[in-house]
Structure 1
């Protein structure tokens, strides 16, 4: 009986450690950057045609990082440090229930046509992204999202990267759709 109890305790402890590690990775609380077996995969491209001038779209993209954060963004973005053309910001993404992932990224603004992101801490060791803004012929804006996501540990890292990338790109698509809606609303005022 004592042996069965010990085996159950060890198995339970192992399962608890596995769940804790998984939650730490998913939420970005345990960033893993081993630098071995690095695999990089593309993110995007995603193109969104926005019926608003480029300067309006840029202002919408920059708004969450400004001095006055829009109320709708306060639970999604927190600026940790601010410079002239760059911020260090924490981004909060709901995962399931009350669970949320936290990423910390530098965000660099190149007015009027580019916003660049570089991951500092998150569920993978490497992400770089950009939003590029180009005027179209009718006064609107073509917003193009591109990036790359890198993971360590060869095949296991590739599996993790594919899992993270699908969630990551879905969050970006939702953000781009919200930016499109807000920019078009502002341009009709």
Structure 2
């Protein structure tokens, strides 16, 4: 759209503590973009262009009970090992910026998600944004759960047993 009646709203924040080193968590997030994606991830993410610290990627999200797939195109920028930033290029709203921030703490890594969504069209756009934001945040929450599970699984498999 044109930016007329632009309104912004926050996305998140969502925080998850992960019992894994920050490097492992970063690698799990970055793998489908910078490395070789698993079969399951290839159904969700396709890298369109790749640079040294940024990719352009299409993301596929099931909607309408899985009957439809929403496609967004985003730039994904990597600041190893503490941050990954996303910026919407094409999607259901004109503007989204997001970040995953990784900090070390006593039991592993804290991953914090924050973002901002912009909609055009005054009140009508704002109502559409509420619908999109609810689904967007549900998708992020599911991704964070998967990231946590995978990072902890990898960490268990790479950490030597006590007394070894």
2:99 equivalent to 1:99: no
**Which residue pairs with 2:25 in the alignment?**
57
TM-score calculated relative to the size of structure 1: 0.81
**Which residue pairs with 1:43 in the alignment?**
11
2:88 equivalent to 1:119: yes
CA distance in 1, matches of 2:35, 2:16: 27
Any idea what SS the aligned residue of 2:102 has?
A: strand
Gaps of 5+ in 1: 1-32
Deviations, residues 3-39 of structure 1 (Å, cap 9, x unaligned): xxxxxxxxxxxxxxxxxxxxxxxxxxxxxx2210000
Match of 1:135 among 88, 99, 104: 104
Match of 1:153 among 95, 100, 121: 121
Across the two proteins, how many residue pairs are aligned to each other? 156
- Superposed displacement of residue 67, structure 1: 3.6
**Which residue pairs with 2:134 in the alignment?**
166
- Superposed displacement of residue 69, structure 1: 1.1
Whose helix proportion is higher, 1 or 2?
1
Deviations, residues 162-186 of structure 1 (Å, cap 9, x unaligned): 0000000000000010000000000
Whose strand proportion is higher, 1 or 2?
2
**Which residue pairs with 1:3 in the alignment?**
none
CA distance in 2, matches of 1:34, 1:157: 12
CA distance in 2, matches of 1:157, 1:166: 14
CA distance in 1, matches of 2:36, 2:142: 22
Greater mean alpha carbon deviation, residues 113-122 or residues 61-70: 61-70
Greater mean alpha carbon deviation, residues 125-134 or residues 97-106: 97-106
CA distance in 1, matches of 2:99, 2:123: 27
RMSD: 0.7
CA distance in 2, matches of 1:67, 1:43: 27
The 4+ residue runs of structure 1 with deviation greater than 4 A are: none
Any idea what SS the aligned residue of 1:188 has?
A: helix
